[in-house]
Structure 1
Amino acid sequence: MQVQPYLFFEGRCEEAVTFYREHLGAQVLMMMRFRDNPDASKEGASEAASGCSMPAGSEDKVMHTAFTIGDSMLMASDGMCSGKPNFAGVSLSLTANDEQQAEKYFNALGNGGQVQMPMTQTFFAKRFGMVQDRFGVSWMVLGGVENKPA
């Protein structure tokens, strides 16, 4: 079994994935736009039958994408393109290979975002900090972890 995060960027999905590709090395596995939904073109297809309701004017927005960051797969969408993403109650945990890489990731994620807890040394990592990126996603960044979580 696998559990994978699915993020709804409400209109900024492609921008977010591009940012993660540039700063975290994300690799896009696939990306489908609302206009590419094969069921949407069928005559008489309902929203339920087509698997989504397409917000007006969102044909070029991302209906579904899958990408990896390191060994982890994430999925995402523009959702209803409301412009108001809500990632409350969840953070993504990023364990870097070393302290310097952790600082680099933390600084990149914080650019245009908001630091929630500055990078510092803790009992569980040589470097740990919490930041909300410019898309509203909260991250916990660790570096120098002796016993990396599985």
Structure 2
Amino acid sequence: MKTQISTFLTFQENNAEEAMNFYVELFDNSEIVDVQRYGKDGPAKEGTIMKATFKLNGKEFICSDSPIKHEWDFTPGVSIWVECESDEELKKFFEKLSENGKVMMPIDNYGFSQKFSFVEDKFGVSWQLNLQ
């Protein structure tokens, strides 16, 4: 069996499903692959995500609603890089991902890219949007 490496997103506000659906709807060639939920006797709220696998433009991600409230949350030190195909695409992702989130670097030419932006979405996940 081939070793599988995936990005894992741990949500602490019982919003893993909302985030996953938001991302799958936003990016083309994306889908929910599998969803496993906590049952009534589980360690977390019944119906929340124990483990869900989804793909964003063909790349696999896994997420869950943590039954444990951790001292930590997402950090911008680890972010999801999106190589955009057009100015319009970058602007669309910027608008959707920064809505109710935070713009850490607005769309601009920072010298290493023709257009770049760094945003944190409403779930706390960081995204780097790039147009070469």
Structure 1 equivalent of residue 32 of structure 2: 28
Give 1:43-122 correspondences, 5 Å limit. Answer: 54-55=43-44, 58-80=45-67, 82=69, 86-88=73-75, 89-122=77-110
Structure 1 vs Structure 2 CA RMSD? 2.3
User: After superposition, what is the alpha-carbon deviation per residue over 1:50-77, rounded to whole angstroms, capped at 9, x for unaligned?
Assistant: xxx623xx11100001111112111100
TM-score, normalising length: structure 1? 0.75
**Structure 1 moving runs of 4+ over 3 Å:** 81-85
Structure with greater proportional strand content: 2
Larger Rg belongs to: 1
Give 5+ residue unaligned stretches, structure 2. none
Q: Helix, strand or coil: the match of 1:116?
A: strand
Give 5+ residue unaligned stretches, structure 1. 41-52, 146-150
> Cα 1:85–1:94, aligned 2, differ >3 Å: closer, same or farther?
farther
What code does the residue aligned with 2:32 have? Answer: V
| Identity value in percent | 28
Q: Say how many residue pairs are matched.
A: 127
User: After superposition, what is the alpha-carbon deviation per residue over 1:85-104, rounded to whole angstroms, capped at 9, x for unaligned?
Assistant: 71123111111222210111
Q: Structure 1 stretch 84-93 or stretch 130-139: which is displaced more?
A: 84-93
> Cα 1:110–1:83, aligned 2, differ >3 Å: closer, same or farther?
farther
Q: Report which structure shows greater RCO (CA 8 Å, sep ≥6).
A: 1
